[in-house]
Each structure stands twice: as C-alpha cells, then as structure tokens.
Amino acid sequence: MAEAYLPDMTVSSPEAPAAQARPDRPGVTELRLAAFATHRRVRFPLGPLTLVAGPSGSGKTVALRAYEALARLGSGAELAEVFPDPVTCVPERARPDAQRRRGFRIGCTVDGPEGPVRLDIAVQAEPELRIVGERLTASGQILLETALRDPGRPVVQAAWHTGGSSVVTRGPLPDDRLGTALLPLRVAGRTDGERQVLAAAEQMVLALRSVYACDPRPRRMRTPVPVGSGRLLRGCDNLAEVLWRTRSECGHRYAHLVAAVRAGCAGTVTDVLAEPLGDGTVRALLDRGDDVRTHLGLLGDGELRYLALALVLLTGPGVLEVDQAGEVPAALQSLTVLADGFDRCLDARQTGALVRLAARMCERGHIRLVGAVSDASWAFGVAGVTVVDLEP
C-alpha cells in the first residue's frame, strides 16, 4: 500500500566538505509536491526570500497550502485538522487502486546544523484519511521509515535507525500524526544512531513549526477592535491593537515601521498611531502632521495590505500568532512568513518597497518569506530574491 503512494525517494546526497559551515537556524530549502492537487513531480527551491510567481490557476496558492500543511503537521496537529477536505488535495486525474484508494504526496528538505534533512510523506485521502508512508533521511541514511501494514488498524509500522546492536528499532506509530514530530517521545537517544535520528527530527520540526501564514483582509482592518492578547491574527484583523502594543515596546523598530509606511502610503505620513476609544476598543490612524489624522478606515485596500505586511516583516514571533519552540533560544530560530497574494492590491511602488524591506529583514536571518505574486519578472537577478516561476 505505501509503495503505491510514495515517490521515488532514492537517496543520493554527496557528503559536504567538513569545513563547510552549516546554517545556525534551520530553514526549508526545498518544497516537493510529488502529487498534490494541480502539481505532479514539482520541486520548489526556497531561499530566505522566495517569490512564487505565475498567472491565476498556475498553482501558487496550492504550493503555499502544501507548505502550511507540512508546518502544521510538524507542530503536531492531527491529519484531519490539517486536511479538512483531503479529496481536494488529490491530483485530478489520479485513479483509485483495486481497493478504491487515492492519495497525495508532499515533502521538503530542511538545511541546518545537521546538514540537509529530507522528509517525504504519503497520505491516503480515500476511503479514509491516514498517513500511509513517511521517510526521514539525512546524509544518505534512512533515519525513519513507516508503512501501512494492516489497513484495519489505525497505526503504521515504523522503523528508525538505531546503530547499536540492532540496526533499526521497530514499533507502531499512529496514522493520523507525523511520525517525525513524535520521535523525541519515542527515541531514547542511547546510541549514536538514535542521537542522529533525534537531531535530524528536531531540526525538521523546528523549521516547520515556526511558520506564520498571513493574508491581510482590509475590510476587517478598518473598524476599531477590542483590546486582547496583542498577537497579530493571520488576517491582520486586529492591526490597530497590535500597533497599540508595539509602539511602546520597541521605539527603534516602530520608527522603521513609520518609515516603511511613509514609503508605501499616499500623502504625508509623520507617524502611525493607535488610540483607545473608551469602550474597550482601539483604532489606528496615520498622523499627517499639522494636527491632521487619517483613520485607517479611509485608506485603500492596497495601503492597508501594505501596512499590515510591513508590520509582519518588522515584528517578531512574540507579536505574531505562531507556535514558537519555547525550549529553543530565539537566536537559533527563524520565523517563516507565508504570504499568499503578496502583491494583491499593491502598485509597483508598494511592491518594490515591500520586497526591499523583506530583503533587509531576511538578510539578518531571523525571518524568511515565501510570497505568491502574479508577476516577478522585475525581481529576476535581484540580490537576495529567489524566484520560482510557474508560467506554463
């Protein structure tokens, strides 16, 4: 069963030179869609700043959807949470096998202190949702492999590298969760092999769980919002509340935000403000100088999306609604922002200013960005930008 879904995962990775420096912060360097919705046998190279470009219907949103799905699985989410409508992930022309089963395959590579680590998973979507195969590899070594042996039981048979008196250890894992995310709870780490497995799994999970999927919705950003946790929602509905919080937390970073807004919004901008209204809500305004203030409700969709994305790029995970690894020092973590429709409603000036801001922030290493755009021809050859062109 597993073999019917798993891609060709032959491992052939040359050993890196001993003196080659590895990244301090793990990051996803390749996304693979072996068979997922509109994509088959597609590889997306990912850098610190990646723009996925193509016309409507080319599969940009599908690619970001797959990345977010891997991120949620890496955070320990159940399969049904991640894929509430799994049949939409099955390639359109995929035919069921003799047991009427169909599925999809996705994977990624994460580079970091342990070197490149590769994860590939096969998911059965019909007749019932389950993970039927998973493989974790590093340095030409299969560290974890699972397969569905008994369709009547909600488990897969797993084998992970031991390197001791037994080459592998075998045991059951649930078929509704990513096995790689469960390894730290199952592997003791007594042998060098087990420690290698744990290090690779932890690198993969760390890179995947620090993801913030963002798609600002201007309509919801125009009205005052209640004061709450101060963590920015993925739709940026509570933008005014987050501005209220961040203004007093880091004056230097807030000054950068004001400069960015000045570059992307029409007219004079001397400050970006948030004020309480006395009823438990707060609203945001642009200070135009000379006692003139513009409520955000009067701004266009492009200006609001620009402001929200600039705020996302300039704030840290403590402000964004993400699942950070609290046990890992912030200096070793990198937050990945997934921005579908990154250039939606923006003009060329705003898009250029936002990408330049993203390049500066990504260069520092604490943030990565994967954005879907309709056109990125202007970005080919731009330093620090990786362009994935989906043009037919």
Q: Nearest Cα to 140, choosing from 9, 10, 7, 12?
A: 12
Angle at the Cα of 145 from the Cα atoms of 118 and 116, rounded to 5 degrees: 15
Would you state the pLDDT for residue 8?
Answer: 39
The tokens for 335 are 């937050």
Interatomic CA distance for residues 220 and 223, integer angstroms = 6
pLDDT at position 316? 66
What's residue 93's pLDDT? Answer: 84
Provide the pLDDT for residue 323.
52
Over pLDDT 70: what percentage of the chain? 90
286 Rama class: left (phi>0) / alpha (psi -120 to 50) / beta: beta
Verify cis geometry, omega within 30 degrees of 0, for the bond prior to 23.
no
Question: pLDDT tens, 245-267?
Answer: 888 777 788 899 999 999 999 99
* Total Cβ atoms within 10 A of residue 203: 23
Report, as an integer, the average pLDDT of 201-227. Answer: 92
3-state secondary structure 108-160: EEEECCCCCEEEEEEEEEECCCEEEEEEEEECCEEEEEEECCCCCCCEEEEEE
Residue of 257, 268, 264 whose CA lies nearest to 350: 264
pLDDT tens column, 329-348:
444 567 899 999 999 999 99
pLDDT band per the 50, 70, 90 thresholds, residue 16:
very low
pLDDT at 318: 64
- Supply the pLDDT for residue 7: 36
Q: What is the mean pLDDT of residues 51-66?
A: 94
* Tokens linked to 278: 């006395």
* Average pLDDT over every residue of 296-305: 94
Going from N- to C-terminal start, the domains of the chain cover 2-8+24-48+57-211, 214-322
| 335 and 317 Cβ atoms separated by less than 8 Å | yes
Sign of CA dihedral 15, 19, 24, 27: negative
- Position 4 scores a pLDDT of 37
